[in-house]
Structure 1
Amino acid sequence: MGSFIYIVTAIFQILVFMLTLYYLIISFFGLYKRNEKIEYKPEKSFALVVAAHNEELVVGQIVESLKSLDYPKELYDIYVVADNCTDNTAAIARESGAIVFERFNRRKSGKGYALEWMFNKLFKMDKKYNVIAVFDADNLVSKNFLNEMNYKFQQGYKVVQGYLDSKNPSDSWITQCYSIAFWSSNRLFQISRQNLGLSNQLGGTGFCVDAELLKSIGWGATCLTEDLEFTCKIVLNGEKVGWAHNAVVYDEKPLTLKQSWNQRKRWMQGYSDVATRYFFKLIAKSLKERNFAAFDCALYILQPFVFAALGLSILLSYLKGDGKLSANIFVMSSLFTPALWKSYGIFQFLFTPFVMVLEKKLKKRLLLVFGLYSANVFVLDIISRMQIDRKLFIIIQISYLLFCIILAGILNGRKSMKEFIWYLLYGLYTLTWIPISIQGIINKNNREWSHTLHTRQIKIRDLEGF
């Protein structure tokens, strides 16, 4: 029985490791960022669509932000689709200067349905637009957004995703973890795909679509992750999603673990649903047409299953160890020397803060503190061999951590002490993806849309220079 568990564990872990290695290799291509210069005059006309459900607290700020865009006012209009609203969202949006359409359909509720309804309205209008942009009501948009998108569309792109940033990264450790995830993903996976000529992934907001393309292939994305479904549809139709790194959209992140858990569970339900419907179609296209972009997209939508496989491999390791889960839980570790495995762990630990420095979201001096702290895997290993009392060893561990926290404060101020602690909690945030993904897979057929309450009334001028 023990050998069987070992073999099954090894298979799971090798597959997960190979996929992780694939993304690690892909991410290296995101370290280089081109400095693109806008050389095109404003030409494209835009319909800016804001999807809103009971967003009276924030809808005024997004409309104000869009009205302030550095782009000819005659070349864009702002539309707010107030979907099944029971508050003052529609009235506030009108007062702020948006063109408002109210939709009431309890049977087909959710952002995907609301967007499809609004797109059909736009197609029937006498006034025609070259491009349709999509935003959430809690967003704020950088002034150069449409200039950057105009540049990309004149280069020939039909679908373009903007940079997803956070408008409240310092509200809690959860918002900080969300922000770290988005900042690193923007650099490591979105830029890398652009550099490799692959298709980028739509992020649910801050993206633009050629109006004629949207009309010809249809929206049809009404699941819990309509952005992912439409990305798959784009790739299957032979197009690629472009990336506009300098077109920034600030998104409000959930404040608490409970809010975050519910939101990410909804994402994983959507991912699981999309994966079961599109994975084999994308694989077939990649093999038939030797289309690597389709293959990459197919791997991307497998995220909930990868996390579930990782969780299962950890459980099998636990069973293999007769109920004793040691620090060395992976069968994969037997393929490397301890020193090499620890060095790889340090590299992984430091890679994300290094990328945050590149993105100017973290001070360089704080990266040095992270480097010092990561060395504890070697320092504490040497101390543990001294056969000292266990309580003393724990005291040394805690003291080492406190020393690094205090050093972060001395070098960078009190804010950096908080950032240092929150980054350490990022590992815990990452682990929560395992049970969340399992829940998402189990409930993938439940398409009931749940609303995340947005309350942060921040204006775009408050974020300038952030």
Structure 2
Amino acid sequence: MDFWIILYIIDWFLFILVGGTVLYLGVFSIASLFSRESVLSTAKIQNRFAIIIPSHKHDNVIEQTVVSVLSQDYPQRMFDVVVVSDHQSEITNMRLAQYPITLLTPDFAESTKAKALQYAILKLPEFKIYDIALVLDADNIVEQDFLTKVNDAFETAATKAIQLHRISRNRDTAAARMGSIFEEINNAIFRKGHINLGISAALAGSGTAYDFSWFKKNVMKAKTAGEDKELEALLLKQGYFIDYFDNILLYGEKKRTTTKMNEQHSRWTLQQIQNLIKNIKYLPGAIFRKQYDWADKLIQWMLLPRTSMVGILMVMSIVLPFIYMTMVIKWWILSSMALFFFALATPDYLVDEMWDRTFLRSPFVTLWGIISTKLIHRKKDNN
């Protein structure tokens, strides 16, 4: 086949794939600009919380998280803190044991968050009754009125699951600043933008509150490292709306190196592909039954991961001018649109003196992170 025909086919195939992703992101980034009334009504009752914190090799941060959770103005008799300390040091466990929490120390041969959550549920005393299961990460810090707000939000939402606003508490490296920006872009597009259009928000892996009875039954069905996406799929298939509360904050640590960040993104990409393969068969039925939240989630998993999208945009924008200038114009326009939509979805507080440098360098930092990650894995394989 002629070289130019092959080039045109590859060019337009990638352009349609990336263009569809950019269009989807654009619709919801614009929707995120509109404000939704999110005044919390004061809950009539104080629900009882089981706060589950899986902690796998997070010795340096878990104690801070426990202290912040125990410092709530919510009545302490109304919540129990369960820390699943997985492969952490004896010193860490001894320090944690000093606090009024339930400390579990499993020894998983292969650790996953799903296993930790399931272990916690199985170890909870049968005689204790809970209303809400709240899942936090080991590095999450919360404010003193956090549980009071979650209690109010859960009653306001009147559904089986709500997602709270995760926000970065460190922006001390280029990778951490990028992670902070990407986190907030995800919050804007996949949560706030969706809610504003009446579509379920995406779960974020932590800062999620579930109806306890639903969680206890359904978390046992999780099999992979992406347990939050499995639970999200179950909620949407069962017809439950996932609400999002932008004004209830919890703070987490971002990866400080591009290598770590890209390893994390690689795991997320793999989970996305696994979820798509497992669930794509449900798309026709979801559309036919008018399960639009579930159909939207399946379409969302069909989109290019943002890292891949940025990589393709950058490569095509740089390489094509050396082959045929006319072909690159549409890629420059698409790249400008993607950057514009990302800028729309970035909150004002992140637009500081470092924002321009971080935002404009992000494609190059991401690409170098991917290359360095591949080199490290190759070196490990050779050893």
1:225: how far off? 1.8
Note the alpha carbon deviations across 1:118-148, whole angstroms, 9 max, x for none: 12223x5211110001111111113332222
Max radius of gyration: which structure?
1
Q: 2:98 aligned with 1:95, yes or no?
A: yes
d(CA) in 1 for partners of 2:235, 2:296: 13
1:284: how far off? 3.1
Note the alpha carbon deviations across 1:210-240, whole angstroms, 9 max, x for none: 0111234344223122212221121112112
Partner of 1:225: 226
More displaced stretch, 58-67 vs 152-161: 152-161
d(CA) in 1 for partners of 2:90, 2:160: 36
Match of residue 364, structure 2, among 415, 425, 428: 428
Partner of 2:116: 114
Partner of 1:250: 251
d(CA) in 2 for partners of 1:234, 1:435: 37
d(CA) in 2 for partners of 1:311, 1:189: 21
Partner of 1:362: 351
CA gap 1:433/1:330 in 2 versus in 1, 3 angstroms: farther
Q: Give the conservation status (yes or no) of the 8 Å contact 2:314–2:363.
A: no
Partner of 1:288: 288
CA gap 1:251/1:313 in 2 versus in 1, 3 angstroms: closer
d(CA) in 2 for partners of 1:437, 1:19: 25
Partner of 2:380: none
Question: Structure 2, unaligned stretches of length 5 or more?
Answer: 376-383
Partner of 2:28: 26
Q: How does 1:31-50 map to 2 (within 5 A)?
A: 31-41=33-43, 42-50=45-53
* Secondary structure of 1:136 counterpart: coil
Q: What is the number of residues matched between the two proteins?
A: 371
CA gap 1:129/1:325 in 2 versus in 1, 3 angstroms: farther
Q: How does 1:390-401 map to 2 (within 5 A)?
A: none
Partner of 1:211: 212
Partner of 2:168: 166
Partner of 1:455: none
Note the alpha carbon deviations across 1:430-453, whole angstroms, 9 max, x for none: 5569879999xxxxxxxxxxxxxx
The code of the aligned residue for 1:362 comes to V
1:36: how far off? 2.3
The code of the aligned residue for 1:428 comes to F
Q: Give the conservation status (yes or no) of the 8 Å contact 1:27–1:188.
A: yes
Q: 2:135 aligned with 1:134, yes or no?
A: yes
d(CA) in 2 for partners of 1:430, 1:280: 33
d(CA) in 1 for partners of 2:324, 2:167: 37
Note the alpha carbon deviations across 1:313-337, whole angstroms, 9 max, x for none: 887898877xx3678764745xxxx
* Secondary structure of 2:350 counterpart: coil
CA gap 1:140/1:4 in 2 versus in 1, 3 angstroms: same
Cα RMSD after superposing both structures: 3.1
d(CA) in 2 for partners of 1:207, 1:3: 49
Q: 2:18 aligned with 1:82, yes or no?
A: no
d(CA) in 2 for partners of 1:228, 1:257: 24
* Secondary structure of 1:182 counterpart: helix
Q: Give the conservation status (yes or no) of the 8 Å contact 1:163–1:206.
A: yes
Q: Give the conservation status (yes or no) of the 8 Å contact 2:167–2:184.
A: yes
Partner of 1:377: none
Partner of 1:449: none
Partner of 2:378: none
Q: Give the conservation status (yes or no) of the 8 Å contact 2:203–2:229.
A: yes
d(CA) in 2 for partners of 1:307, 1:109: 26
1:18: how far off? 2.2
More displaced stretch, 35-44 vs 252-261: 35-44
More displaced stretch, 194-203 vs 10-19: 10-19
d(CA) in 1 for partners of 2:361, 2:310: 19
Q: Give the conservation status (yes or no) of the 8 Å contact 2:72–2:147.
A: yes
1:104: how far off? 1.5
CA gap 1:117/1:141 in 2 versus in 1, 3 angstroms: same
Q: 2:111 aligned with 1:175, yes or no?
A: no
Partner of 1:56: 59
Q: Give the conservation status (yes or no) of the 8 Å contact 2:22–2:337.
A: no
Note the alpha carbon deviations across 1:42-66, whole angstroms, 9 max, x for none: 5211111110122222111001110
Q: Give the conservation status (yes or no) of the 8 Å contact 1:53–1:84.
A: yes
1:78: how far off? 0.9
Q: 2:88 aligned with 1:152, yes or no?
A: no
CA gap 1:138/1:315 in 2 versus in 1, 3 angstroms: closer
CA gap 1:230/1:357 in 2 versus in 1, 3 angstroms: closer
1:261: how far off? 2.0
1:207: how far off? 0.6
* Secondary structure of 2:121 counterpart: helix
Q: Give the conservation status (yes or no) of the 8 Å contact 1:13–1:331.
A: no
The code of the aligned residue for 2:289 comes to E
d(CA) in 1 for partners of 2:24, 2:344: 20
Partner of 1:398: none
CA gap 1:317/1:128 in 2 versus in 1, 3 angstroms: same
d(CA) in 1 for partners of 2:336, 2:173: 26
Partner of 2:126: 125
Question: Structure 1, unaligned stretches of length 5 or more?
Answer: 364-415, 440-466
More displaced stretch, 59-68 vs 142-151: 142-151
d(CA) in 2 for partners of 1:438, 1:331: 31
Partner of 1:298: 298
Partner of 2:74: 71
d(CA) in 2 for partners of 1:177, 1:327: 31
Partner of 1:6: 8
1:160: how far off? 0.9
CA gap 1:256/1:25 in 2 versus in 1, 3 angstroms: same
Q: TM-score, normalised by structure 2?
A: 0.85
Q: Give the conservation status (yes or no) of the 8 Å contact 2:286–2:292.
A: yes
